[in-house]
């Protein structure tokens, strides 16, 4: 997708263990367990945080979609 002549990047992540993700139509649409695993992120206690903050690491991999590959 383009906006103002530039490609738009949209990404999505889901918190592992959060039950509401099972109601999300994008999450439910994916049937491949390996692909689903790439969408799940663990939120863990932040070491030394007094108010109980959490942190997560989410790797974003940029690439070409099959549609883009076919378009050249």
pLDDT in tens, 36-68: 988 899 999 999 999 999 999 888 877 777 777
What pLDDT, on a 0 to 100 scale, did the predictor assign at position 72? 60
Dist CA 16 CA 36 (whole Å): 10
Range of the structural domain that residue 58 is part of: 2-71
Greater confidence (62 vs 18) lies with: 18
HSE of 62, CA atoms in CB hemisphere, 13 A:
4
Q: Contact 24/36 with Cβ under 8 angstroms?
A: no
Helix (H/G/I), strand (E/B), else coil: 19: helix
* Structural domains of the chain, count: 1
Query: Where in 1-72 does DSSP place strands (E)?
Result: 2-3, 6-7, 14-15, 40-41, 44-45, 54-55
Can you tell me the mean pLDDT for 26-30? 91
Q: How far apart are the first and last CA of the chain?
A: 15
């Amino acid at each position: 997708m383009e906006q103002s002549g530039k490609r738009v990047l949209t990404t999505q992540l889901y918190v592992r263990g959060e039950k509401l993700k099972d109601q999300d139509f994008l999450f439910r649409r994916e049937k491949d367990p390996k692909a689903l695993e790439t969408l799940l992120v663990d939120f863990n206690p932040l070491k030394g945080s007094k108010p109980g903050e959490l942190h997560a690491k989410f790797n974003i991999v940029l690439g070409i979609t099959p549609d883009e590959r076919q378009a050249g």
